[in-house]
Structure 1
Amino acid sequence: MATFKQSEDYDYSEYLIPHGTINGVAIPFFTTPEFRLDLRQNFKLRPESDIFIVTYPKSGTTWMQNILREMLFAEEKGEWADLPLTDRVPWLDHIRDMSVGDLERLPNPRVFKCHNHSPQEMDELFFKGDKTPRIIYVLRDPRDVSVSLFYNLQKAGKTISDWMTKASFTDFFKTYFRDEKVVFYGPWEKHVENWLSARHEYNILVVRYEDLIADSSKEIARIATFIGWDCSAERVREIADKTSFASVTKEKLFKVENGVSDSFLRKGVVGDWENHFVDVEDEKLMREIAEELFKKHGV
């Protein structure tokens, strides 16, 4: 298998899944120091209108992207309406066919997706000391996160990782998900701790994936209030229905190349971890870590 190394300036490894390391944190191989330098130097923050969706991977990111697109951009026409979700609400570690300069063309309000491991890193890249931009941090049960990430990377593994195509979920959990040197964006609990501990310092709304599942309309109304978007209860219910998992899987939200969609949506359910954790100690570990963190931060 060919190397995926894209920079001489990060610590690169093909162990398990190709990745680089920046500031001691593993990141996808395509996120290079040069790309982040471009962001640091050329990204122009619009603090009054920019909105950042921040998550640990597989925590409801696409769902939140779609909610905000439907909330803010439903009436768009022309080129903006025709953009796939991945371009209309771009990921700031991998903007693919766009350049950093292209982000300037996006009309207000702009919405971005991020997985950065800490607000301090995002401050360095985007905020430059301005703590007013709105950040929506989406949390999900780490047991379900690990299962969703397993299938996500298993799909990607067909082209980038022989190990990933053969690993069982238990192997993946013990060898990759719990290894802070290789898991993208660091261990789940460090990511969550970094963001929850800063939620009163930065302008952060915390949304739990499980709450979105239980009462989508209630959570969407909270999000609307947070971003200053005035809407009726009827419109909130419409957004909840249109952005439900069953609805979005039927829509053309993603790029399709050579007949293959870039969507990594799978089930979108709560509790699928029960079908995957064979080792009860693994499940207990993640449950206790989550309970302690949520109790500490009052989530």
Structure 2
Amino acid sequence: MATVPFEALDQNDPIVRKMESQHLWFQKFIKSIPDGYVMPAYYSEFQKTNTFKPREDDIWIVTFPRSGTTWTQELTWCIVNIDKIEDARKLPLWFRTPFYEWDCLVPPDGLPDLSQLVIPFDTIEEADKHFQKPGNMIIYVSRNPKDSWISYYSLFHTFDSFTGTLDDFIEQSIHGISVWGPHWKHVREHWEMRNEPNVCFLTFESLKK
């Protein structure tokens, strides 16, 4: 599997400079080529994608942050493991449905209160292109950005990792330079896959009904 190429964000863009100055955990960012997804700068050192080999029965849960990831993980695990449902009470969710990219999200110096940082960021880079095998399933969950962006901002704000205002955060999201953005592209690419036999496209709102 080839390494995903990256390039630096445009430092001549005032919104980029403002965004990088307001993030305390992720102070420098890069974007994937040619897709343009924004990642922490040290993501380029994440080498797991070079050697990882998916199993044929893997189920991939793919979301933009704050779109119902944890909820979908729990639901999916319980459905697949209905015969041992009691294990859901015994084993933590991160053990039952691990985050593929978690180790690339933690800065070299670690994160404050990491043991309490239970909110996932598990967008799988180009999952639709690289991780599919016969029998694999991709479950994608989208959410109205009016809710997901506010929830995303609240997450960063709760851990004092973003010093900007909600207006700043929304401006950056609209311009596609939020962490793991652009949101629109992320959703659109998976929406276009919705009729594939191994893709289940869900929405946060439909799950609530």
TM-score of the superposed pair, with normalisation by structure 2? 0.69
Q: 1:1-299 alignment to 2 at 5 Å?
A: 11=8, 14-17=20-23, 18=26, 19-23=29-33, 24-29=36-41, 32-35=43-46, 37-41=47-51, 43-47=52-56, 49-73=57-81, 75=84, 82-95=90-103, 114-116=122-124, 121-123=126-128, 125-127=130-132, 130=133, 132-156=135-159, 158=160, 161=161, 164-165=162-163, 167-174=164-171, 176-180=172-176, 182-201=177-196, 203-214=198-209
Work out the CA distance in 1 between the residues paired with 2:149 and 2:65: 9
The count of aligned residue pairs is 172
Which runs of no fewer than 5 residues in structure 2 stay unpaired?
1-5, 10-16, 105-120
- 1:115 is paired with a residue whose SS is coil
Q: 1:194 to 1:202 in 2, by over 3 A?
A: farther
Relative contact order higher in (CA < 8 Å, ≥ 6 apart):
2
More helix by share: 1
Measure how far apart 1:93 and its partner are.
Answer: 1.5
Q: 1:46 corresponds to which letter in structure 2?
A: R
1: CA distance, partners of 2:65 / 2:183: 9
Q: For 1:230-266, what per-residue CA distance to the aligned partner results, in whole angstroms no more than 9, with x for missing partners?
A: xxxxxxxxxxxxxxxxxxxxxxxxxxxxxxxxxxxxx
Deviation at 1:73, TM superposition (A): 3.6
CA contact (8 A) 2:65 2:122 kept: no
**Deviations 1:106-152 (CA, angstroms, capped at 9, x unpaired):** xxxxxxx84136xxx2255433xx36411111111111111111101
| Larger of the two Rg values belongs to structure | 1
1:87 Cα deviation after fit: 2.8
Contact kept, 8 Å, 1:53 with 1:64, in 2: the verdict is yes
Helix, strand or coil: the match of 2:206?
A: helix
Decide whether aligned partners of structure 1 residues 171 and 33 sit closer, same or farther in structure 2, where only a CA change above 3 A counts.
Answer: closer
Q: CA–CA distance in 1 between the matches of 2:128 and 2:139?
A: 15
Runs of at least 5 residues in structure 1 that lack an aligned partner in the other structure: 1-8, 97-112, 215-299
Cα deviations across residues 257-282 of structure 1 (Å, max 9, x unaligned)? xxxxxxxxxxxxxxxxxxxxxxxxxx
- Aligned partners of 2:30 and 2:91: how far apart in 1? 30
What is the aligned-residue identity percentage?
29
What is the root-mean-square deviation in Å for CA atoms of aligned residues?
Answer: 2.9
Q: CA deviation at 1:40?
A: 2.8
Offset from partner CA, 1:14-66 (integer Å, 9 cap, x none): 44322333323212455x2332x32331x22112x210111111110010011
Shift of 1:81: 6.8
Per the alignment, residue 249 of structure 1 pairs with none
Q: In 2 relative to 1, CA 91–202 (structure 1 residues): closer, same or farther, beyond 3 Å?
A: farther
Q: Is the 8 A contact 1:87 1:95 kept in 2?
A: no
